[in-house]
Amino acid sequence: MTARLALLSDRWRDRVEKAVTFLAGRGFSGDVGLILGSGLGNFVDQIQDAQAVPYGDIPGYHSTSVAEHVGQLVCGTAAGVPVVVMQGRLHPYEGLDPAELLLPTAVLACLGMQSVVVTNAAGGLNPLYRPADLMVIRDQIDLHWHDPLRGLLRDPLGRAGRAVGRVPGPLRPYDSELAEALAAAAARAGVPVHQGVYASMYGPTYEARAEITLLRRAYCDAVGMSTAPEASLLHALGVRVVGLSCITNPARETGQPELSHQDVVEVGAKVRDRVAEVLLTALPQLRASVR
């Protein structure tokens, strides 16, 4: 059992271990993991010696119901770095409880990733952000109103196998050194990036205007419906986390048309080559700076 599996609660560990054993038996291993959000999945075209397994074939995994999320795990080499990539993710609003939602993220950690890049499509809250801008995530506010890690981790006080609520909290879920490395790589690739705070809402409805006002007053720069639970879990399991948001729309103001998932995906499609370029440029540093 890897050291990270030992951090999971009894209730969860066997399920995660089954998937890890299945994947490790098929040669899935790597140094850097990537979770690719809405419309950003084409990074997998850059992977050499790629092998892929649909989520539905992995023990315990659910297939994602979100359009544009392919739903497969891919491993291989990108920019000389062994990677394991989640092409598509599950979302809280798909109605799954956190144990189902976060299983693929726990598996990524337990396959031995040293760092994981979490990407997403997000609405801009910062008035300076424009559609197709990128933002390196420096911190997050998880507005799902309950801790997604409840019952998933072993009692930190050491009582064997009991899952209790209190676990070391994610004071800094995002790794500053890797965030700087990602921003520097983006600059080298000629892609300017913002750095800011990501707010994660439950979804699937987009925010009401009062919620947008609230988030802005809380100094959030971008808003989406994913990422925060994954980042908290990865951090709790000792994985270094770096986040990248693709701003697909400005937060809606009065008079703007309704935002649709299609709008989000269309902007994602426009910038996904740029995102792939940034990730490829950054990958060697994301591994090299792993302690």
CB of 207 to ligand HPA, least distance (A): 6
Which structure tokens are listed for 257?
A: 């048309």
Q: Could you tell me how many residues of this chain bind ligand HPA (CB under 6 A)?
A: 14
84 sits near ligand HPA (criterion: CB under 6 A): no
Among 105, 115, 249, 285, binds ligand HPA (CB under 6 A): 249
Confirm if 69 and 91 have CB atoms less than 8 A apart: no
User: What's at 271, amino acid-wise?
Assistant: V
Tokens 């993710």: give the residue: 89
Nearest approach, Cβ of residue 281 and ligand HPA (Å)? 24
User: Which member of 207, 221, 230, 277 binds ligand HPA (CB under 6 A)?
Assistant: 207
The minimum distance between CB 2 and ligand HPA, in angstroms, equals 33
Contacts of 151 by beta carbon, 8 Å cutoff, 6+ apart: 9, 11, 12, 99, 163, 165
224 binds ligand HPA, rule: CB under 6 A: yes
Q: How many residues does the chain have?
A: 291
Q: Would you give the distance in Å from CA 274 to the centre of its chain?
A: 18
Q: Is 199 in the site for ligand HPA (CB under 6 A)?
A: no
- Least CB distance to ligand HPA at residue 79 (A): 27
For tokens 């995660």, the residue is 16
The reply to whether 223 sits near ligand HPA by the rule CB under 6 A is yes
**Sign of the C-alpha dihedral computed for residues 222, 153, 83 and 288 taken in this order:** positive
Question: What's the closest the beta carbon of residue 102 comes to ligand HPA, in angstroms?
Answer: 19
Query: CB–CB of 165/147 below 8 Å?
Result: yes
Of 25 and 255, which has the nearer Cβ to ligand HPA? Answer: 255
**Alpha-carbon distances, residue 242 vs 51, 118, 119 (angstroms):** 24, 6, 9
Binding residue for ligand HPA (CB under 6 A) from 71, 107, 206, 278? 206
Indicate the residue among 224 and 243 with the shorter CB distance to ligand HPA: 224
Residues that bind ligand HPA in the complex, under the rule CB under 6 A: 121-123, 201, 206-207, 223-225, 248-249, 251, 259, 264
